Amino acid sequence: MKWWITGAVVLVAAAIVPTFLDPTGYAIRVLTLALLFAALGQAWNIVGGLANQISLGHAAFFGLGAYTSTILLINFGLSPWIGMLAGAAIAAVAAYLLSFPTMKLRGHYFALATLAFSEVLRVIAGSWTSVTGGPVGLSVPFSPDSFWLLQFKSTMPYYYIMLGALVVISGVFVWIRHSSLGYRLRALKENPEAAEVVGVNTTQVKISAAVISAALTATLGTLYAQFTYFFDPEAVFGIIPISVRAAIIAILGGAGTVVGPIIGAFLIVPMEEMANVLLSSRGAGLSQLAFGVMLIAIILIEPRGILALITNGVSRLRRRKSS
C-alpha cells in the first residue's frame, strides 16, 4: 500500500472512532490525551529526530504556551487562539536565545542544559504568584461552549482539535524533512563537520529547527490548558510529565520518523492511564519507573524504536516466505 493511502485510511478511522464512544466518557479522554502527546512527540521530533539534539527541556515551551494564553485569557479576556500565537512567539524567542549557550553542547550536555532551562521556568512560575498563581497554578475561567474561547463541555470537540494539531504538526514535520532544511538537518545529524564543508550553516540550521519545534510545542501547551481547565507549574513545566514524556514517546516509537511519535503516544498514554486506574494512589511515582524501564528496554532491544522493530520483523517474514 502506498504511504498516503495508509495515512488516509488511518485518518478516516481516527475521525470516525469518537462517534462510537461516549462523548464525555473516559475512553475518549484517553484518546484525546494520546493525540495531544503524539503531537508533542512530533514537535520534539523536529529537533530530537531530525537534528538529533536530544532535548529534555521541551516543557519550557509547553509551559510558556499554557501560561501565556491562560494569563492573557484571565486578565484581558483574550481568545486562546490569539493567546496561542502569542505563546508560540514567546517560545520561539526563548528557543532562539537558548540556542546560543547550548549551540556547542553535545549529547548529555545539551540535554542537561535544556532541562535546566525548563526547571528555571518552573521555579519562576511557582514563585511569581501575582501573575502565575504560584504553586497553586491557574484555572481557565469556565465558559463553555465557545469555539472562540476554545471551551467545550463534551470531550469530542477537543478530540478533533487535538487530531487537527497532530495532523498539522506531522505535516510540518514531513515538509521539513523533505525541504532543503531537512536535507541540511540530516547532514548535520550524520556529521557536523562534513556538513559544514559542503556549505551547510549548521548554526543556522540548528536554530531554525529549535525555533519551529518550540513554537509548535507552545501551541500544544495552550491546547492542554484549555482541555484540562486547570494546571500548576509541575503539570506544564514538569520534567517527567512533559519533557521526558515527549522524548520517550518519540524515541520509543522511532525518532526521526513521522509515525514514531504516534506509535509511541498510543502505547504510553493508555498504558499510564491503565496503571493509574489499577494502582490509584499506590502507583504514585510508578510512571517515572515505567518510563525508565521502557527507555532501557528500547535501547537494549532496538535503539531505532518500535517502528524499526516492526519493519525488521515484516521484512524477515517476507524473506522467509519467499525462500
Partner 1 sequence: MSDTTPTLLSVEDVYAGYDGSDVLHGVSLDVHAGEFVCVIGANTAGKSTLLRTISRLVPKSRGRITFDGTDLMSLKAHEIPKLGIAHVPEGRHVFPDMTVEENLLLGAYTLRQDPVYKERLEKAFTLFPRLKERRRQWAGTLSGGEQQMVVLGRAMMLNLRLLILDEPSHGLAPIVVDEVHDALVKIHEAGTSILLVEQNTSLALSVASRGYVLESGEIVLAESAKALHDDPKVREAYLGL
The reply to whether 148 sits near partner 1 by the rule CB under 8 A is no
**Of the listed pieces 40-48, 77-85, 152-160, 186-194, which binds partner 1 according to CB under 8 A?**
186-194
The reply to whether 304 sits near partner 1 by the rule CB under 8 A is no
The reply to whether 146 sits near partner 1 by the rule CB under 8 A is no
Q: In which residue are the cell numbers 526547571 written?
A: 119
In SS3 terms, the chain reads as CCHHHHHHHHHHHHHHHHHHCCCCCHHHHHHHHHHHHHHHHHHHHHHHHHCCCCCCCCHHHHHHHHHHHHHHHHHHCCCHHHHHHHHHHHHHHHHHHHHHHHCCCCHHHHHHHHHHHHHHHHHHHHHCHHHHCHHHCEECCCCCCECCCCECCCCHHHHHHHHHHHHHHHHHHHHHHHCHHHHHHHHHHHCHHHHHHCCCCHHHHHHHHHHHHHHHHHHHHHHHHHHHCEECHHHHHCHHHHHHHHHHHHHHHCCCCCCHHHHHHHHHHHHHHHHHHHHHHHHCCHHHHHHHHHHHHHHHHCCCCHHHHHHHHHHHHHHHHHC
Closest approach of partner 1 to the CB of residue 242, in Å: 29
Q: Which is nearer to partner 1, 209 or 225 (CB)?
A: 209
Closest approach of partner 1 to the CB of residue 321, in Å: 23
Binder among 81, 96, 160, 183 for partner 1 (CB under 8 A): 183
Closest approach of partner 1 to the CB of residue 194, in Å: 4
| Contacting partner 1 within 201-220 (CB under 8 A) | 201-202
Closest approach of partner 1 to the CB of residue 103, in Å: 13
**Of the listed pieces 2-10, 18-26, 181-189, 313-321, which binds partner 1 according to CB under 8 A?**
181-189
Q: How far apart are CA 256 and CA 244, in angstroms?
A: 17
The reply to whether 319 sits near partner 1 by the rule CB under 8 A is no
The reply to whether 179 sits near partner 1 by the rule CB under 8 A is no
Q: Residues of 229-266 as b/e, b for ≥16 C-beta within 10 angstroms?
A: eebbbbbbbbbebbbbbbbbbbbbbbbbbbbbbbbbbb
Q: Which is nearer to partner 1, 146 or 180 (CB)?
A: 180
**Of the listed pieces 11-19, 43-51, 132-140, 191-199, which binds partner 1 according to CB under 8 A?**
191-199
The reply to whether 312 sits near partner 1 by the rule CB under 8 A is no
Binder among 1, 5, 13, 198 for partner 1 (CB under 8 A): 198
Binder among 2, 130, 148, 193 for partner 1 (CB under 8 A): 193
Q: Which is nearer to partner 1, 119 or 196 (CB)?
A: 196
Closest approach of partner 1 to the CB of residue 99, in Å: 16
The reply to whether 187 sits near partner 1 by the rule CB under 8 A is yes
The reply to whether 190 sits near partner 1 by the rule CB under 8 A is yes
In angstroms, how far is the first alpha carbon of the chain from the final one? Answer: 23
Binder among 127, 129, 146, 191 for partner 1 (CB under 8 A): 191
Q: Which residues bind partner 1 (CB under 8 A)?
A: 180, 183-184, 186-187, 190-191, 193-194, 196-202
